[in-house]
Amino acid sequence: MRVLLSTLCGRSIFFLNLGGARVKVYCDNGACPAELKELQKQGKVTLYMFKYENKNKYIKESGVPSKATWNDMRNYTWDAVPSNWSTCSESSKYKDIIKIVGLANKRVDILHLDSAYKTKCEIFMTNDKDDIWTHRNELEKLLDIRIFCISEISECVDYIAGHQN
């Protein structure tokens, strides 16, 4: 049975109701558009973010932290810290992310990308056109994650629908 999600992006989007796995989407700070929230309500995606910078009440799942410091845990209560120190180290891709994005850029950009990789997300949603989106071809190849800018939400929804059908 096909399910119509007509409120997304101003046009009709159909998903097959297969009961399959949800698409894992990592949302960069400030990059959680209404369309992704709706897809999460519909059970089509699971949204992740490690709260290095800010809290987001719509994202319940924590990404796996990368090179986290005690200060990076400030947006978590003691009982809600999502990991232990052994999982807070960087991935094998961390240094390559730095080479692409550059050390001069914000540390958290690198950490968010590495957290998305460690969380095994399929999509990385960002509003950072300068440091992340402009390097997306290299980053997508390295991390095997599709990167969308928030202004490309229609393309992102189409990509998710393609994975659900």
Enumerate the domain spans of the chain.
22-151
| Among 53, 121, 127, residue whose Cα is nearest residue 91 | 121
| Among 75, 87, 112, residue whose Cα is nearest residue 97 | 112
pLDDT of residue 44: 92
Distances (CA, A) of 132 to 41, 57, 111, 135: 27, 24, 12, 5
Q: Is the dihedral of CA 160, 145, 108, 100 positive or negative?
A: negative
Consecutive H or E run containing 157: helix 153-164
* Reported pTM: 0.81
Comparing 104 with 143, the larger pLDDT belongs to: 143
For 40-96, how does the pLDDT look when each residue is reduced to its tens digit (9 = 90+)?
899 999 998 877 676 666 777 777 777 766 666 655 555 655 556 666 778 899 999
